[in-house]
């Protein structure tokens, strides 16, 4: 079974659009707090207005991604992606780095891939290049993260997982997850499950269709668990948006 490129692109647009809309809504809900963290000479009130305008534009652009371009807007599709890409660059400059962490980085890569694919009108090979770009970043993101954990003693022993789940650690935890930190062996087991999954993820490119779906389901479950336990909800949409491209490469 294979996924048609236009279906893969449409699914990517939809998932990414939801992710960008969600982020814009969250930033708008906490724009004053975000404005205090903007780097620049202007006072926070100025940055609050700047952020409001920027997020409303992103919300509008993401709405088009969700609804779909249709035949009328398809001609200017690259302009939408360029708008979101430039807007992302502006946010990175203002916050001195990706303000949504890794999810911003993946969202950006998916936008680049969609931009390349949207130029497929000129040359159909660009659709494959765009989807390939997205799939490559998806696979690399898991694999590199897995290798980095494997090379780190604290991850191999479970200490990093324990610190992550500690009550006074860096995240606001889902209450039942706090108990997991009590058992170092359980934390080590969880660490190894993550390491094995992340390092094995590139297999998704050669597995049969059912195997691909199984591995991507595990990936989705992994991100949903992270959202529940650690509150990293934006990662769900950013990574899910890469899955249609991964499925396309069968």
Partner 1 sequence: MIATALSNILKLFLPSWNFFNDFSTVPRLDVRTIQDGRECEWRTLYTTVSTRSIRRVFFNADGNIELLEKTFIDRATEEFAPECPRLRGQQRDNSSDLNKNNALSHSRVSAPGDGRTPSELGKHHKILTRIVRSRLTATQLDDEFQFRLVMTSPGQPEEILFVSAHLPVQEETR
CB of residue 50 vs partner 1: minimum separation in angstroms? 16
CB of residue 178 vs partner 1: minimum separation in angstroms? 6
Which residue has 């989705």 as its token pair? 220
Q: What is residue 168's DSSP assignment? A: T
Is 3 or 27 the residue whose CB approaches partner 1 more closely?
Answer: 27
Sign of CA dihedral 64, 67, 73, 74: positive
CB of residue 247 vs partner 1: minimum separation in angstroms? 20
d(CA 130, CA 112): 8
Is 44 or 132 the residue whose CB approaches partner 1 more closely?
Answer: 44
Is 77 or 104 the residue whose CB approaches partner 1 more closely?
Answer: 104
Residue 164 and residue 41 in contact, taking contact as beta carbons nearer than 8 Å: no
With CA atoms as reference, report the closest residue to 231 among 101, 139, 58.
101
Is 18 or 57 the residue whose CB approaches partner 1 more closely?
Answer: 18
> Tokens standing for 116?
């390349």
Name the site residues for partner 1 (rule: CB under 8 A): 22, 25-27, 29-30, 33-34, 36-37, 39, 44, 88-89, 92-93, 95-102, 104-106, 108-109, 112, 137, 140-141, 144-145, 148-149, 152-155, 159-160, 162-164, 167-178, 224, 227-228, 231-234, 236
CB of residue 164 vs partner 1: minimum separation in angstroms? 6
> Tokens standing for 188?
């080590």
What is the 3-state secondary structure of 187-236? HHHHHHHHHHHHHHHHHHHCCCHHHHHHHHHHHHHHHHHHHHHHCCCHHH
Is 80 or 142 the residue whose CB approaches partner 1 more closely?
Answer: 142
């Amino acid at each position: 079974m294979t996924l048609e490129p236009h279906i893969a692109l449409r699914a990517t647009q939809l998932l990414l659009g939801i992710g960008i809309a969600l982020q814009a809504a969250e930033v708008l809900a906490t724009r004053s707090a975000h404005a205090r963290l903007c780097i620049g000479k202007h006072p926070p009130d100025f940055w609050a207005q700047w952020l409001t305008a920027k997020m409303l534009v992103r919300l509008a652009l993401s709405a088009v991604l969700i609804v779909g371009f249709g035949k009328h807007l398809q001609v200017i599709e690259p302009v939408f992606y360029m708008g979101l890409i430039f807007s992302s660059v502006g946010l990175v400059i203002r916050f001195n780095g990706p303000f949504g962490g890794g999810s911003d980085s993946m969202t950006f890569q998916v936008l680049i891939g969609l931009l390349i694919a949207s130029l497929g009108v000129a040359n159909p090979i660009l659709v494959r290049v765009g989807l390939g770009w997205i799939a490559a970043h998806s696979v690399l993101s898991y694999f590199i993260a897995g290798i980095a954990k494997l090379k780190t003693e604290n991850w191999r022993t479970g200490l990093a997982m324990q610190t992550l789940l500690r009550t006074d650690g860096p995240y606001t935890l889902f209450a039942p997850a706090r108990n997991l930190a009590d058992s170092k062996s359980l934390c080590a087991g969880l660490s190894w499950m993550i390491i094995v999954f992340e390092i094995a993820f590139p297999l998704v490119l050669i597995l049969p269709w059912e195997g691909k779906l199984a591995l991507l389901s595990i990936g989705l479950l992994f991100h949903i668990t992270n959202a529940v336990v650690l509150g990293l909800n934006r990662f769900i949409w950013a990574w899910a948006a890469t899955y249609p491209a991964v499925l396309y490469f069968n």
